[in-house]
Amino acid sequence: MHRILTFITRVTGYCLRSLNYCFVAWTKPNTSSLLRETLTDQARNKSELVAENALLRQQLIILRRQVKRPACPKTDRMLLVLLASMARTWKQALFIVQPETLLRWHRQGLKLFWKYKSRAASLKPRTSQETVALIKEMARDNRLWGAERLRGELLKVGIRVCKRTIQKYMRNVRTRQPRGQTWRTFLHSHAQQIWACDFLPVTDLFFRSLFAFFIVELHSRWQADCCEFL
């Protein structure tokens, strides 16, 4: 009796595994190409296509309910944008992505397209090395000349360069220096003509309030007579 129950259990498990394998193989989505499937659909009847469409819609509903963010490669994005441009009701046909996402992909595609269209015809710089060396030399030797002055001087010798190009090469030569003199330089130059004064309250040993007025020469640190007021 025990052997019979063991045999029945094994046969039941084998049948269940076979049924599970067949079910997974039946429900596995087809990964063939879109063009071949579209040509194959031309020979199918309308009822079969409607049933398959309903099945796909249900799977999309389940996918949207369980998957937070489906992954879309670049090829799928390009295909979705192309198909949406040919469908009038493309917003109602979207399930796995939002319409704003598809519009963002469309803008990114246009950006890449115009970036490709506006690329430089040649990677070789338009400004020759001799001209760049001349701009740097003139900017180094004439620090008071601006980009407009340098451009005018180059035009005199027949070299046409825009202002922004000159400014780009001037930055590598000239270092930023503070405009005007510092406060330390001013004091060092005019210390003999500058006097410092201060008026402050003080307290003597008997806790009386006194007010003192000091005058000091900055160059020699000589202190004038102090005036005290009660």
What number of residues does the chain have?
A: 230
Looking at the structure, do residues 214 and 187 belong to the same domain, yes or no? yes
Asked if residue 188 belongs to a domain, the reply is: yes
The full DSSP string for 58-103 is HHHHHHHHH-SS----HHHHHHHHHHHHH-TTHHHH--SS-HHHHH
Please indicate, yes or no, whether the overall pTM of this predicted structure exceeds 0.85. no
Looking at the structure, do residues 192 and 223 belong to the same domain, yes or no? yes
Residue 166, domain extent: 143-177
Looking at the structure, do residues 171 and 188 belong to the same domain, yes or no? no
Looking at the structure, do residues 147 and 173 belong to the same domain, yes or no? yes
Q: Of the candidates 77, 131, 129, which has an alpha carbon nearest to the alpha carbon of residue 106?
A: 77
Asked if residue 89 belongs to a domain, the reply is: no
Model pLDDT for residues 79-102, shown as the tens digit of each residue: 888 877 777 667 767 777 788 888
Residue 16, SS3?
helix
Q: How confident is the model at residue 107 (pLDDT cuts 50, 70, 90)?
A: very high
Looking at the structure, do residues 173 and 205 belong to the same domain, yes or no? no
Asked if residue 198 belongs to a domain, the reply is: yes
Q: How confident is the model at residue 1 (pLDDT cuts 50, 70, 90)?
A: low
Number of structural domains found in the chain: 2
Asked if residue 56 belongs to a domain, the reply is: no
